[in-house]
Chain A
């Protein structure tokens, strides 16, 4: 009986014993589910089997833990399982949707998809492409960026740098604006630009509607980024005699550069797949129109939507290819934001380098 052999207690949440109980319950409930789905239920297949398995597992696992431990532990394990399953349920559709678009889209892609429009392709013909839609999307997105990004940035500067008593109401309005349904933004531009001002539908009208949707996203993201800029940098600049404007322009904005680019990319990602506002602003077309200020213009989401409503296989194939390109575009933008987000902001700015050089010499 020595007192020195103290055993270190394992604090791991799941012990080997738990794992054995889990595995046994899974096995038992799997067998039970197999019996139920093949003998009792009128439907067979992987989905009914999976659901029955889940329910059977919850019941059997609860009984097993209750027998081996107590009711408290059983409730804890069951709720942990339910929460984890719920979280997995969120990611399942993501896999299905991306898989669906990739499988259908890759086969439908062709060279002519990028080099031809649909003006001389019949609905039953193969060939033809969505070049006109790709051009339209790029132009419309570029114009919305030019309009919405400066305004969004300036709103962010107002919210975080200028402040003042109007700050809270403005933040509320930005939030309210981000909740405006996209189709309402389209109706608004239709009512003002097309009806009241008498312009025709065009790519520019579409980009006006898109920038209404982009503005709040850019403003809120940029505001969060500006909040991360250390106050010391601002104070140092002001103490050196710089004006407020100079401080924002030369110190705050460059320091937050990466985050601000993320804000722009998020803004683009917000509108790149928007379809609803285009229905009443650019109307879509089958011909290449490189002038966004005059005449109807196609764009990727709108063309995909219009092609999907067409019953012919060739048109459906084009819709799949268009959806694939759209998803690849969104994924690319998404990866850009993650790469930028992981890079440390504020290390590469002129002010920071200058500061390092001065303090070194």
Chain B
């Protein structure tokens, strides 16, 4: 069959106007997407609003004062010491969590038998699913009695180290015990971020290292670890964000103090989140405002830490931040 007449083809003009239902759907989806931003902004705004009373009462002293006595006739309170202990606990937690997480991530990606990889990953996820309350309870009732002899021993043997020197021999409810418990809660998140970055190491480079005669450890040291450096830094910072905001486990374990001192094995520590949890019930309006202000500081701190972490991880995922 030959067409009787030849017509020139004119390309159809494509009209891309979405139907009404699609317009509603898109609007809704974009709206919901932006809701996260709105909520974040509202959190900052409302905390700022409610902390006004406290900030007006204390001014800059809120950041430079150690004491927390808002119920006195002349209320005076600041978060300097509390912030100090928050950071100390977070650093103890990270000092334990980072090496263990790197080892765990390396084991999961490079050493574990293939059949074991998935169940092991599940177990690490399970560690993340256990509520912080349970960690705190375990730390208080099981770990603490077992750690006190260790803390006593290390403190008497190494009392020339300022962090381990104590003024009186009481070792319960210390920053060290809280830090160890928090480290357990940070390990799963660090491990999963680091493992994901390690698993994206180019297979070719690993095989090249092995083909050149490298042992498995040399391959890990020269290929996997440099490639995953961004992931290690980003995962650690995400862990830092979690450790700073950890509340209930710390609140159960520590006994609050409001002085800055180097010893981490002696009784007494503090953290912003646990201060809020422990004081909120009994607080009057001014103290509650002060606690909201402390919460605002915590919110700002974790937001900064997490954002930097997200950038570092995103860069290392795209491979842009890696130069071997």
Contacts and interface: CB of A to CB of B under 8 A. Distances in A.
A91 to B, nearest CB: 6
B25 A301 contact: no
A75 B217 contact: yes
B277 interface: yes
Contacts of B305: 179
Contacts of B281: 279, 283
A338 B216 CA distance: 32
Interface in B172-192: 184, 187, 191
Q: Is the interface of A mostly helix, strand, loop or mixed?
A: helix
Interface string A95-116: 0110011001000000000000
A200 interface: no
A3 interface: no
A87 B277 contact: no
B19 interface: yes
Interface residues of B, number: 92
Given A187-B291, A244-B25, A158 B33 contact: yes
B30 A180 contact: no
Nearest to A271: B131
Interface string A316-337: 0001000100110011011000
Interface residues of A, number: 90
B308 to A, nearest CB: 11
A172 interface: yes
Interface string B31-60: 011111101101100110110000000000
A124 to B, nearest CB: 20
B29 A184 contact: no
A182 B245 contact: yes
A82 B103 contact: yes
B273 A181 contact: yes
A240 interface: no
B89 interface: no
B47 A191 contact: yes
Most buried by B among A47, A90, A216: A90
Q: Which 6 A-B pairs have the closest CB atoms?
A: A273-B131, A86-B103, A181-B245, A179-B306, A87-B107, A76-B215
10 contacts: A43-B149, A75-B215, A101-B138, A159-B33, A179-B242, A182-B245, A184-B295, A301-B248, A326-B133, A334-B129
